[in-house]
Amino acid sequence: MKVRVLGCSGGVGAGARTTSFLVDSDILVDAGTGVYDLTVSELAAIDHVFLTHSHLDHIAALPMLVDSVGAMRARPLVVHALPETIDALRTHIFNWVIWPDFTEIPHYERPWMVFEPLAIDSVVAVDGRYLRSLPASHTVPALAFQIYTDDAALVFSGDTGPNDEFWRQVNGVANLRYLIVETAFSNRERDLAVTAKHLYPIQLGEELAKLQLEPEVLITHLKPSDRELITSEVGAWAGRFKPRVLVQGEVLEL
């Protein structure tokens, strides 16, 4: 299994794309602006989208994805998300005002998109690969994901603040090779981080101290305006771990 980093930035700008990961060729985890760099044939190959939450930087490309390749596909794109996330998408995006409702196009019996609700600890199997939903603590209902095969696992925190239950679940993951965890803000913006329920480097160190395993730790979702500062502070506060910042375009192999 290969996980391609389409976007891992906490904002946009030249060379910065928001959160999206392509698992092999057919599974998308979050649908941020990194999806826009895929070719039309690559877009059409995506069968499943798993969303951590409803914020724009994680769902921005979904409406255009469905619109661009829905007519090319033999079956609907399946969007897996919390019921609250699905409700937000129906109410605010696929509402015929901002964007058409592709669960009804071209016909409600032959839609281009369908929603499949997730709960905490749901496991979805896709041809020998598994995605398990884990708890996240954010300003809206949110998930983290464990992505795994029989041989190895990756955990992606999604957007989250401190969360003891997340670490309890992570510590029980077998064969954990990679942990992708967000750190959106620098220490000087800790008040904003706390309000927005994102991590900052001091808090990241406190959270990583709860980790009992030894995966490679990768940092994502850095705000572009403070990227260098956050990177430096992460190195100073990560404790026994030596995280590195995730790079757009890299491929993680499991």
Q: In the block, which residue shows the tokens 């041989």?
A: 151
Distance CA 94, CA 199 (A): 31
Q: What is the pLDDT of residue 184?
A: 97
Q: What is the pLDDT of residue 52?
A: 98
Q: What is the pLDDT of residue 246?
A: 98
Q: To which CATH superfamily is domain 2-253 assigned? A: Ribonuclease Z/Hydroxyacylglutathione hydrolase-like (3.60.15.10)
Distance CA 118, CA 178 (A): 23
Q: What is the pLDDT of residue 239?
A: 87
Supply the DSSP string of the chain, one letter for each residue: -EEEEEE-BSS-BTTB-BSEEEETTTEEE---GGGGGS-HHHHHT--EEE-S---HHHHTTHHHHHHHHGGG-SSPEEEEE-HHHHHHHHHHTSSSSSS--TTSSS-TTS-SEEEEE--TT-EEEETTEEEEEEE---SS--EEEEEE-SS-EEEE--S----HHHHHHHTT-TTEEEEEEE--S-GGGHHHHHHHT---HHHHHHHHTT--S-PEEEEE-B-GGGHHHHHHHHHHH-TT---EE--TT-EEE-
**194-217 per-position pLDDT tens digit:** 999 999 999 999 999 999 999 999
| Residue numbers of the chain with a pLDDT score lower than 50 | none
Q: What is the pLDDT of residue 219?
A: 98
Q: What is the pLDDT of residue 108?
A: 86
